[in-house]
Amino acid sequence: MSQKTVMPGFRPTIGFTLLYLSLIVLIPLSTLIFESFKLTWDDYIHIITSKRILSSFQVSFTAALIAAAVASIFGFITAWVLVRYSFFGKNIFHALIDLPFALPTAVAGIVLATLFQPSGLLGKFLLSIFGIQVAFKPLGIVIALIFISIPFVVRTVEPVLLEFETSMEEAGSSLGATRWQVFTKIIFPNIFPALLTGFALSFARGVGEYGSVIFIAGNIPYVSEIVPLLIVIKLEQFDIPGATAIALTMLVISFLLLLVINLLQYWARKRSGQL
Amino acid sequence: MSSHIQQIKNAKVVNKSSTTQDPVWVRCILITISIAFISLFICVPLGLVIFQAFSKGITAYFSALAQPDTLAAIKLTLTVALVTVPLNTLFGVAAAWTITRFDFPGKSLLTTLIDLPFSVSPVISGLIFVLLFGAQGWFGEWLMAHDIKIIFAAPGIILATIFITFPFVARQLIPLMQEMGHQEEEAALSLGASGWRTFFSVTLPNIKWALLYGVLLCNARAMGEFGAVSVVSGHIRGMTNTLPLHVEVSYNDYDVIGAFASASILAGLAIVTLILKTFLEWKQATR
Amino acid sequence: MSILLSDISKNFGSFAALHNINLEVPEGELVALLGPSGCGKTTLLRIIAGLEHTDKGSVIINGENKTSQNVSQRGIGFVFQHYALFRHMTVFENVAFGLRVKPRHSRPSNEVIKKKVHALLDLVQLDWLHDRYPDQLSGGQRQRIALARALAVEPSVLLLDEPFGALDASVRKDLRLWLRNLHHDLNVTSIFVTHDQEEAMEVASQVVVLNHGHIEQQGSPSEIYDNPTNAFVSRFIGQTNVFDLDEHDNEWLRNVGIINTNSTGRIAHVRPHDILIEKSESHQDATATLKDWQHLGALIRLELVKNDPHHSSKPLFAEMPKEQFKTLALRIGDVVKLKIRHAHWFH
Per residue in A107-137, pLDDT (tens digit) is 999 999 888 888 888 888 888 888 788 778 8
Instruction: Return the exposure string of B238-272: e unless at least 16 CB atoms fall within 10 Å of the residue's CB, then b.
Output: eebbbbbbbbbbbbeeeebbbbbbbbbbbbebbbe
What would you report as the CA-atom Rg of chain C, rounded to the nearest whole angstrom? 25
Q: Given this model, what pLDDT does residue C306 score?
A: 79
Closest CA to C94 of C49, C50, C133: C133
- CA gap A9, B95 in Å, rounded: 11
Of A263 and C308, the one with more pLDDT:
A263
Q: Of all residues in chain C, what percent carry a pLDDT higher than 90?
A: 32
Q: Which of B95, B198, B251 sits opposite A17 (nearest CB)?
A: B95
pLDDT class of B7 with cuts at 50, 70, 90: very low
Please provide the CATH number assigned to the domain covering A50-271: 1.10.3720.10
Q: Given this model, what pLDDT does residue B14 score?
A: 44
Helix (H, G, I), strand (E, B) or coil at A254: helix
Q: Nearest-CA residue of chain C relative to B181? A: C84
Whether B17 shows a pLDDT value over 60: the answer reads no
Beta bridge partners, C157, equal: C76, C189
CB contact under 8 A, B190 and C82: no
Average pLDDT over residues B199-227: 92
CB contact under 8 A, B197 and C101: yes
Residue contacts between A and B (CB atoms, under 8 Å): 302
- Mean pLDDT in chain B? 85
Whether B3 shows a pLDDT value over 60: the answer reads no
Min Cα distance B192 → chain C (Å) is 4
Q: Given this model, what pLDDT does residue B60 score?
A: 84
Residues of C in contact with B189 (CB under 8 A): 51, 70-72
Q: Nearest-CA residue of chain B relative to C49? A: B190
Q: Of all residues in chain A, what percent carry a pLDDT higher than 90?
A: 28
Whether A46 shows a pLDDT value over 80: the answer reads yes
Instruction: Return the exposure string of A220-259: e unless at least 16 CB atoms fall within 10 Å of the residue's CB, then b.
Output: eeeebbbbbbbbbbbbeeeebbbbbbbbbbbbeebeebbe
Per-domain boundaries in chain B: 1-53, 57-285
A129 touching chain C per CB within 8 A: no
Residues of C in contact with A3 (CB under 8 A): 53
Whether A183 shows a pLDDT value over 60: the answer reads yes
Min Cα distance C71 → chain B (Å) is 5
Q: Given this model, what pLDDT does residue C216 score?
A: 93
Test the C interface: residue of B101, B107, B190 with most C CBs within 10 Å: B190
Min Cα distance A11 → chain C (Å) is 16
Whether C32 shows a pLDDT value over 90: the answer reads yes
pLDDT class of A142 with cuts at 50, 70, 90: very high
Residue B228: burial class (beta carbons within 10 Å; 0-12, 13-18, 19+): buried
Average pLDDT over residues C321-347: 84
Whether C282 shows a pLDDT value over 80: the answer reads no
A5 touching chain C per CB within 8 A: yes
Per residue in B48-98, pLDDT (tens digit) is 888 888 888 888 888 888 888 889 889 999 999 999 999 999 999 999 999
C51 touching chain A per CB within 8 A: yes
Whether A17 shows a pLDDT value over 90: the answer reads yes
Residue contacts between A and C (CB atoms, under 8 Å): 9
The model's pTM is 0.81
Whether C207 shows a pLDDT value over 80: the answer reads yes
Q: Given this model, what pLDDT does residue A48 score?
A: 85
- Which stretches within chain A are classed as H helix? 10-21, 27-37, 41-48, 51-84, 90-96, 99-102, 105-116, 121-130, 138-163, 166-174, 179-182, 188-208, 211-217, 227-236, 240-271
Residues of A in contact with C52 (CB under 8 A): 5-6
Largest CA distance in chain A: 71
Whether A145 shows a pLDDT value over 60: the answer reads yes
Whether B1 shows a pLDDT value over 60: the answer reads no
Q: Find the helix or strand (DSSP H, E) in which C20 lies.
A: strand C15-25
Q: Given this model, what pLDDT does residue C263 score?
A: 64
Q: Is the dihedral of CA A273, B1, B3, B5 positive or negative?
A: positive
Test the C interface: residue of A1, A2, A6, A7 with most C CBs within 10 Å: A6
- CA gap A57, A49 in Å, rounded: 10
pLDDT class of B20 with cuts at 50, 70, 90: low
Count CB-CB contacts under 10 A for residue C187: 12
Residues 6+ positions from B128 with CB-CB distance below 8 Å: A28, A29, A31, A32, B163
Q: Given this model, what pLDDT does residue C325 score?
A: 86
- Angle (CA) C31-C233-C28 rounded to 5° is 10
Q: What is the DSSP string of C287-321?
A: EEEEEEEEEETTEEEEEEEE--TTS---EEEEEEE
- Fold exhibited by the domain B57-285: MetI-like fold (1.10.3720)
pLDDT class of C33 with cuts at 50, 70, 90: very high
Per residue in C37-71, pLDDT (tens digit) is 889 999 999 999 888 888 899 999 988 898 888 88
CB contact under 8 A, C86 and B197: no
A117 touching chain B per CB within 8 A: no
Q: Given this model, what pLDDT does residue C249 score?
A: 64
- Mean pLDDT in chain C? 86
Q: Which of A256-265, B196-205, B275-284 has the highest mean pLDDT?
A: B196-205
Q: Given this model, what pLDDT does residue B43 score?
A: 84
pLDDT class of A92 with cuts at 50, 70, 90: confident
Q: Given this model, what pLDDT does residue C129 score?
A: 92
ipTM of the shown complex = 0.87
pLDDT class of A5 with cuts at 50, 70, 90: low
Q: Of all residues in chain B, what percent carry a pLDDT higher than 90?
A: 32
- CA gap B259, B241 in Å, rounded: 13
Test the B interface: residue of C101, C113, C161 with most B CBs within 10 Å: C101
Residues from C in contact with B at Cβ < 8 Å: 49-51, 70-78, 80-82, 84-88, 97-98, 101-102, 149-150, 152-153
- CA gap A122, A137 in Å, rounded: 15
Q: Which of A96-100, C212-216, C252-256 has the highest mean pLDDT?
A: C212-216
Residues from B in contact with C at Cβ < 8 Å: 183-184, 186-194, 197, 201-202, 205-206
pLDDT class of C248 with cuts at 50, 70, 90: low
Q: Given this model, what pLDDT does residue A93 score?
A: 85
Average pLDDT over residues A95-112: 89
Amino acid B108 reads S
Q: Find the helix or strand (DSSP H, E) in which C21 lies.
A: strand C15-25
Q: Given this model, what pLDDT does residue B48 score?
A: 87
Whether A69 shows a pLDDT value over 90: the answer reads yes
Lowest model confidence (mean pLDDT) among A144-158, C111-125, C160-174? C160-174
C93 touching chain A per CB within 8 A: no
Residue contacts between B and C (CB atoms, under 8 Å): 66
pLDDT class of C9 with cuts at 50, 70, 90: very high
Average pLDDT over residues B247-265: 88
Beta bridge partners, C59, equal: C5
Residues of C in contact with A6 (CB under 8 A): 50-53, 70-71
Q: Given this model, what pLDDT does residue C174 score?
A: 85
pLDDT class of B12 with cuts at 50, 70, 90: very low
Test the B interface: residue of A1, A7, A246 with most B CBs within 10 Å: A7
CB contact under 8 A, B98 and A74: no
Per residue in C263-279, pLDDT (tens digit) is 677 788 888 888 888 88
Whether B252 shows a pLDDT value over 90: the answer reads no
CB contact under 8 A, B193 and C97: yes
Q: Given this model, what pLDDT does residue A2 score?
A: 40
